[in-house]
Structure 1
């Protein structure tokens, strides 16, 4: 099914014509919902601290999680105390849950587990992002909130919007879901504050981001023990764009004998992964690794990546954030 969807969205498969009526329904529902907020019939929840939303207008992976980690580190370097909220995709959460560094991915979601394991940032997940934000502010010392995804979640007031674009796949066939990958039309990018292009080539007005690989780490202990690059590997990925990962490890010189794709946020069968690694090492993404730590074997490895953006973006974001923070601080003091 995943391969068929990819062919429809990105390779011109004619089945898109059968799905276009459903895309029309999707457009109608999303337009009505958006108008309810823009006309004031529904109110977005405005929070007392700046809110940065990191999302995209397409379904599938575009590099949001590495971007969120980059922002956490950037804000900390400049004296901010960031916290993160997320939907926790792939798991059913009753109410809201605070994520701790030892949280299980099947309890809080793979992306939240990865973000907190990497950064130890205060983070709350829940189906209702507004509730998650209120809990985050009540339980932690936070002065800026980063929303991992949620560009289309208009109930959450936001001060800065960052949209990620997959530099390789772009917008596919430019159709709305389900005939294409778009959650909203391309017009939506005109209203965000920053468009970050993951992988390039960047177009006018886009900020280029690169994902730089780090040394391989073992899944069971997170140590970057020296991996013998002469060993062959089976590469697996349960992310939005598996092919990007497969291309990356091939370009890095790893000897890939087999690639295995899983659905994004999929729970893994330990026996299936064990069978894949009988004769070769198993190489996966960091996001997949957080779901495998409880049953990982010694020849399972993951590739950490770090987002890199230019100083012009850093300066522009921090300048805008400072203005928002000063405005909200003034309002809280009745100025």
Structure 2
């Protein structure tokens, strides 16, 4: 029997008329509350803290699963490539405990959250998590006072932290839709009009669809995901030879917002999947969730939940990265009017 969140997500993609009729008033109310919060921020009635370094927020107006984390990773890496010292703050969704955590090499996923830990490992950038992102930013600057810029992973609607640049990630698959609605009738946190107030929109997953629905603008960027070589969880240097999978039972496990994308990617790579396992986003994956198989392939987001891979000799990881065009890091540097130290 489908779970409630599965029913909701199916409704957001292909609305059920009766359910839309019942939920529409609640979406209207949600929109009024969201508009009031943003209005209070713009009018200065909502307390908002400015950090001593520029803050770039990368978020979305969807409830999730838009390809934001790879965009944050690519942006931070781009800033680093230009000699800027960039830090990351995040809420740390799904972690255990409260307060602020400044990540170290020993930090586990249940302390930081899977996405912040993934970003920390991918970029090496100083990273802190906390439900109050301004507090996380202060802690990060106390530990790393030489930071030039902080990138906030998510938090477009977290107005308690002032931002100098707002970037919204929007899925290409939704660019032509006319039935998008606010929660709970749809998957939007804010109306589409919100995209007109951000500094940049990054359309993820297909430029052709975006160009057909959006008029190209100066602040429009396009993100596509590129996959790397599948590596062994216990030894990143060891790559999977897909040509030797014949006769082996291969399974794929994913605890992400859109697991079907992961499975489809593996199939397109020629990986023969005997079984797929979809788990809730941010779930605490354990070896018990893995099916009996000679080879189990997982996402990098799920891989960070295992500290050293002990006892998981058959687990392999698919790495991905975002390619953003035009260059988003150059755009951010220009907006902030700061000087790159090298090119």
TM over 0.5: yes
Partner residue in 2 for 1:162:
167
For residues 188-241 of structure 1, give each alpha carbon's deviation from its aligned partner in whole angstroms, at most 9, with x where no partner exists.
Answer: 100111111111133333311111100001223333423334425212211122
Partner residue in 2 for 1:265:
282
Which of 209, 223, 228 aligns to 2:242? It is 228
> Superposition RMSD on alpha carbons, in Å?
2.0
Which of 312, 330, 333 aligns to 1:318? It is 333
C-alpha displacement of 1:115:
1.1
Report the Cα distance in structure 1 between the residues aligned to 2:280 and 2:178, rounded to whole angstroms: 19
Equivalences, count: 321
Q: What's the secondary structure of 1:255's corresponding residue?
A: coil
TM-score of the superposition, structure 2-length normalised? 0.87
Q: Does 1:68 align with 2:85?
A: no
Distance 1:244 1:173, change over 3 A: farther
Q: What's the secondary structure of 2:66's corresponding residue?
A: coil
Partner residue in 1 for 2:149:
144
Q: Does 1:301 align with 2:306?
A: no
For residues 73-117 of structure 1, give each alpha carbon's deviation from its aligned partner in whole angstroms, at most 9, with x where no partner exists.
Answer: 111111210000000001244210101133111111001111112
Report the Cα distance in structure 1 between the residues aligned to 2:276 and 2:270, rounded to whole angstroms: 15
Report the Cα distance in structure 2 between the residues aligned to 1:119 and 1:39, rounded to whole angstroms: 36
Which of 7, 11, 14 aligns to 1:8? It is 11
8 Å contact 2:79–2:329 — kept in the other structure? no
TM-score of the superposition, structure 1-length normalised? 0.89
Distance 1:76 1:158, change over 3 A: same
Give 1:1-335 correspondences, 5 Å limit.
1=3, 2-14=5-17, 15-140=19-144, 141-170=146-175, 173-200=179-206, 201=208, 202-203=210-211, 204-205=216-217, 206-231=220-245, 232-273=249-290, 276=291, 278-293=292-307, 294=309, 297-321=312-336, 323=337, 325=338
Gaps of 5+ in 1: 327-335
